[in-house]
A and B are shown apart, each in its own frame.
Chain A
Amino acid sequence: MNARLRVLVFAAILVVAGLGAGGFVWNERQGQARTRAAAPVVAQGGDLTSLRARPHLVFRSTALGDGYGKVAVVPLSAPDGPRTFTPASCERVHATAGDAVCLFADRGLVTTYHSRLLDSSWRPARELPLTGLPSRARLSRDGSLVATTTFVHGDSYADPGQFSTRTVVTRTDGDVVGDLEKFQLVVDGKVVKAADRNLWGVTFADDDKFYATAASGGRTWLVEGSLRRRTVSALHADVECPSLSPDGTRIAYKKHGDLAPGRWRLAVHDLRTGEETLLAETRSVDDQAEWLDDTTVLYGLPRTAGNGAATSDVWRVPADGGGRPEVLVPDAWSPAVVR
């Protein structure tokens, strides 16, 4: 091939590659616009103020369209009925009757994450310190304490599966109670000092007592902690993301067991008897469960919609290991029950 021919061939490849890629992207854009236009409009309705006076469910709406990512509310009496959107957008939300904590990402070249307390009208009340990728958020029942967990770092390549979390407990009126990773961790009567210990997935029992996951050296535990004494001690092995039942007697959590990496099974631990019950949901759940009432557990599962878009649903399953899972709210994530 002489030089001229080469340049011609190269120009042809350049044009084909440019037009091909450009065309594909343009087509995708058009396709997205069409999908948006054709998306079944999720039923909306209801008045936020009157809704909040009744028992209701607060969640992140993942229905495609304008409301994607917004926090929405449905009455517990009709969870799959019309939803009411709030002005707030969150990746993860948890709420009580008066407050809500919202973890959200400011996406860009450098994505930054924020943690924000919302007041009863869903307007930002206060910024909370946050570093890393938001993963869990919990308010105490009376709304005075808030715990947020973020992934500071996903992994180190030399040690696959390692990650580093930071879980901070803050009083909603201002004071930082502490970074749980700095609390003293006791397992089987021995203090664990390893630098790789992580704590995440807090659930509050009262103003002092809380439960959480502790991990070190590839093992995880359900820990009971005291904010005042700044200690956490292990109760039960292989527990992640605990959630305390409303009557305070049981913990719902995800259990890794002998499953493949990155897969978990939902289970319930009875604090009175120490008994563990596997729930009827056999799919892998990576979520901090929520209790609908003393007999039912809620959790989110991702789903790929017909057009390939990523969405998710909130499911319910009985807490006694019987029954079978059912969708409670379609196109939803991060449920919080407010009674």
Chain B
Amino acid sequence: MYVSLRDRPGSDEDRSGRALRRVSSTVFLLGTVSLLTDVSSEMVASVLPLYLTASVGLSLFAYGFLDGMYQGVSAVVRIAGGFAGDRGGQPKWIAVLGYGVSALSRLALLPAAGFAAITAVVTADRLGKGLRTAPRDALIVEASDPALLGRSFGVHRALDTVGAALGPLVAFALLASVPGSYDSIFVVSFAFAVVGVAVLVLFVPNLRTAGGAARIGLRLALREVSGRRLRRPLLAAGVLGLLTVGDGFLYLSLQERDNLAAVYFPLLYVGTNVAYLALAVPLGRVADRVGRARVLVAGHGALLCCYLLAAWPAGGPALTVGVLVLLGVFYAATDGVLPALIGRLVLPEARGSGIAAAQTVVALTRFAASLLFGLLWTVQGPGRSLLLFAALLTAAVPVAAWLLRGSDR
């Protein structure tokens, strides 16, 4: 079951060159699939505003509406994807379906014209993303040595982020060489996605969860997800999610504070990604050593500092960079660590469902937090709203730590 490039259980963790190698080859392969798919999706995402406003002739207002459509779709399908992977015992093929739908949606952008068609295509892409996430994470858990789970997710998320960073570069290089040819971007993006799907289909082993034993029914999956083992971690994830302000709002409050951040607005995302990329593997390793729940909670401590820095009345480059780094720490300590934590708590045959449940709880509570924060922002501006969220988070972190005690075994 546990495939690795070089399995040397005795080797020392501190010699990082070796340590990296012990992460299962399946994780690297899945990371490669995510890298290629992210190049593909970020290529399109980074030029979509330009394409819609410059080429299709939609106003920015309509684009905002479209962007809002994205978010809701993904959460619902995620659970379905997780359960379908568990039910069939073959998460790989559910993941293939998810990646495949997203790949095909790139091609569908070619003839799509007008608001409705583009909305449909973008929604299909999001459906694919929702569908594939949980079964893929279940595969990562299945393929990894339990003791290295945090590191494995760190490696996967780091590769994923590399793809997300390369996508816009490829897109703008293409636009520079063939000005205004958005079709070129869609076609090249499709090619990347196809190669990603090929890696998944041809090389990722079809690991069967639960070894093809008793197929899990809907009732058992529900019981497992709402059961004793997951109840507290899910509650903790929900409480923390409710106090997690979207990074878009943090960037906005930075640019309200000083003009520098406004001029380099697009670079703020890059800054966070760089920090995330650098820290995903190290923090995954820390999580393996000191406990995933602890790192998850500590990550929200970083988020708390982030709020305080962003609410600081003075501006300046140092503070801006500080916020971005802390945001990177937060993502590195939570995004891959959560499935690593949940994946080992839940029964193997309900793994996809369990991971999906946790990710959906986080997505929905964060969405609620964004709505709430948006409202607060309108009423009293960014500074005081951030301070209020910081105060609430200060109270919530110990509660979450209490809820998660014992989750690390």
A positions within 8 Å CB-CB of B: 1, 6, 9-10, 13-14, 17-18, 20-21, 24-25, 28-29, 32, 108-112, 129, 131-133, 151-164, 194-196, 217, 261-262, 286, 302, 304, 309-310
Given contacts A28-B184, A132-B262, contact A20 B191 (CB under 8 A): yes
CA distance A152 to B265 in the complex (A): 9
- 8 Å CB contacts to A: which residues of B22-60? 49, 54-55, 57-60
The distance from the CB of B106 to the nearest CB of chain A, in whole angstroms, is: 11
Of A13, A32, A129, A195, which one neighbours B377 at CB under 8 angstroms? A195
The chain B residues found within 8 Å of chain A, CB to CB, are: 49, 54-55, 57-65, 67-71, 115, 168-169, 172, 174, 177-181, 183-184, 187-188, 190-192, 194-195, 198-199, 202-203, 246, 248-249, 252, 255, 259, 262-267, 367, 370-371, 373-374, 377-382
- Complex Cα distance, B55 from A302, in Å, reads 9
Number of A-B contacts (CB under 8 A): 147
What are 26 A-B contacts with C-beta separation under 8 Å? A10-B199, A13-B198, A24-B183, A24-B184, A25-B177, A25-B184, A28-B178, A29-B177, A132-B262, A133-B60, A152-B265, A153-B265, A155-B60, A155-B63, A156-B248, A158-B71, A159-B68, A161-B65, A162-B374, A163-B61, A164-B252, A194-B378, A195-B381, A302-B57, A309-B180, A310-B57
B contact face: mostly helix, strand, loop, or mixed: helix
Q: Are A17 and B191 in contact (CB under 8 A)?
A: yes
Asked if A25 and B62 make an inter-chain contact with CB atoms under 8 angstroms apart, the answer reads no
Known: A21-B188, A25-B187, A310-B54. A160 touches B65 (CB 8 A): yes
Given that A28-B183, A29-B177, A160-B65 are contacting pairs, would A131 and B259 also be in contact in the complex, using a CB cutoff of 8 Å? yes
Chain B hits for A132, CB < 8 A: 262, 265
Residues on B with C-beta less than 8 A from A29 are 177-178, 181
| Alpha-carbon distance A217/B373, docked complex (angstroms) | 15
Q: Which residues of B contact A20 (CB under 8 A)?
A: 187, 191
Residue in chain B with minimal CB distance to A113:
B263
Using Cβ atoms and an 8 Å threshold, which residues of chain A touch B248? 156-157
The CA-CA distance from A7 to B379 in the complex, in Å, is 59
Q: Could you tell me if A161 and B61 are in contact, using CB atoms closer than 8 angstroms?
A: yes
Are B191 and A18 in contact, CB atoms less than 8 angstroms apart? yes
Given contacts A10-B198, A110-B266, A195-B381, whether A158 and B180 have CB atoms under 8 Å apart is no
Contacts of A159 in B (CB 8 A): 68, 371, 374
Bound: A109/B177 CA distance, A:
13
Closest beta carbon of chain B to A5's beta carbon, Å: 9
Kindly state the separation between the CA atoms of A196 and B263 in the bound complex, as whole angstroms. Answer: 20
Give the chain B neighbours of A111 by CB distance below 8 A: 266
Contacts of A1 in B (CB 8 A): 202
Expressed in whole angstroms, the minimum distance between the Cβ of B20 and any Cβ of chain A is 23
| CB-based contact A195/B380 at 8 Å | yes
Please give, as numbers and ranges, the residues of chain A lying within 8 Å of B180 by CB-CB distance: 309-310
Q: Known interface pairs A13-B198, A194-B378. Does A108 touch B265 (Cβ–Cβ under 8 Å)?
A: no
